[in-house]
A and B are shown apart, each in its own frame.
Chain A
Amino acid sequence: MQMIPLHLAAEGMVLAREVCRNDSSSTVPVCGKNVVITGELIRRFDLMGIRSLYVKGRPIVQEGEPTLEAILKDLDCRFDKVRNDSLTMKVHEIYTAFLKRSMGDDCGR
């Protein structure tokens, strides 16, 4: 999941969270989770004053953001002390798979 400014939203991206109006005191959503973004939807969000969205995966490379390789390397370092502990290494495996899924080739870029 990635939070992106509305001007970087593009057709085909998928909303990871409901979109709510910024100026509303209520939390009634104006668009639901899992909706595929279209050009029309982006225009409507703009008219409603919505400035950012949460989208699935990490479709936008933001300046200064570490690469998947760097993140996986850091993850490896953090697990240095439990390398021989098969139970704790399950967490490592699950995190690695999660990061590859959300930042790798199928993350919507």
Chain B
Amino acid sequence: MEDRQNDIKNVIMDTKNLPTLPGVIIRLNALSEDEKSTIHEMANIVTSDQVLSARILRLANSPSYGFNRVSTISNAMILLGVNVVKSLALSSTFLEIMEKNSLGLWEHSLGVAAAANLIARKLALPECEEISTAALLHDIGRIVIGLKCSKESEQIIQLAKEKQIYLSEAEMQVLGTDHAEIGGWLAKSWFLPEKLSDPISFHHDVTLSTNHRIKVSVVQMADVLVKASGFGDSGDIYVPRIQQEAWDALGMTELLLSEIIEELEEKLVDVKNFSIEMQA
């Protein structure tokens, strides 16, 4: 099984078939490492790519982030933080593929980001925007599987349906790994910070995260709520389990959960409208 896993890892991490990262992102990465660089300089690099800038601004103004007046990349960098803008820029290619080819997964991801943002704000957690970004990207491994192992991807969906199992269980049976681990590999290869890569890698098991347990727990809870509501299509038919550790890490109560669910249902109407607008 380990050999199979390594083969899959090699196939997946072979960057020849992965969409290439625009030069702008490589320059942005280099600049963000430089302590002397300013927000203005970084914003100038991003705005040199108009399509990328437009995508970042549309996402920053989406219900998944809760802002509605981010009009410039400099604004987005100040409000969302350089790391969030960087990760959105990095993943914009994947998000575009998701939006065009996996509408259900795209809507699920937007829904989970909106839910995570709502939970984080209700709990007054710091770095709400980074939690939204982690939630938006939490299933990015599924896109990688679809891109790099399209035959196996169909097998996985078929197997999950036939055996009535979770998609991640079917992924383990077919690939020897699952979308969470694959997403984690990708996040590491993109040098995303742990606070973004941990929720991607561990959203099905929060106990594996030691440094970012709260962020991972928010994403797990958000994923469960959106699957429960039936919004979008993550590929999974069944709602996964909320871990007691996640519930405890968030200090969740039934009353708070009721309030979140009620507000989430309203937010998901906005998310749907946003998704329709993006498709137009």
A contact residues vs B (CB 8 Å cutoff): 1, 3, 16, 27, 54, 74-75, 77-82, 85, 87-88, 90-92, 94-95, 97-98, 102
Q: Which residues of A contact B227 (CB under 8 A)?
A: 78
> Number of B interface residues, CB 8 Å?
25
* B185 within 8 Å of A (CB atoms): no
Q: A1-B269, A91-B224, A91-B225 are in contact. Are A82 and B258 (CB under 8 A)?
A: no
Across the interface, B239 reaches (CB within 8 A) one of A3, A82, A94, namely A82
Across the interface, A94 reaches (CB within 8 A) one of B68, B230, B258, namely B258
Q: Which residues of A contact B237 (CB under 8 A)?
A: 77-78
* B262 within 8 Å of A (CB atoms): yes
Q: How far is the CA of A55 from the CA of B229 in the complex (A)?
A: 20
Are the CB atoms of A95 and B229 closer together than 8 Å? yes
B contact residues vs A (CB 8 Å cutoff): 68, 164, 166, 224-225, 227-230, 237-242, 244, 247, 254, 257-258, 261-262, 265-266, 269
Top 10 nearest A-B pairs (CB, nearest first) are A81-B238, A88-B242, A78-B239, A88-B241, A94-B258, A85-B241, A91-B228, A82-B241, A94-B261, A87-B242
Are the CB atoms of A91 and B257 closer together than 8 Å? yes
Q: Which residues of B contact A78 (CB under 8 A)?
A: 227-228, 230, 237-239
CB distance from A94 to the nearest CB of B (A): 5
CB distance from A2 to the nearest CB of B (A): 9
Q: How far is the CA of A90 from the CA of B225 in the complex (A)?
A: 11
Are the CB atoms of A94 and B266 closer together than 8 Å? no
Are the CB atoms of A98 and B230 closer together than 8 Å? no
Across the interface, A79 reaches (CB within 8 A) one of B239, B265, B269, namely B239
Q: Which residues of A contact B230 (CB under 8 A)?
A: 74-75, 78
Residue contacts A-B, CB under 8 angstroms, 12 given: A1-B265, A1-B266, A27-B68, A78-B239, A79-B228, A81-B240, A82-B239, A82-B240, A91-B225, A91-B228, A92-B239, A97-B258
Are the CB atoms of B254 and A75 closer together than 8 Å? no
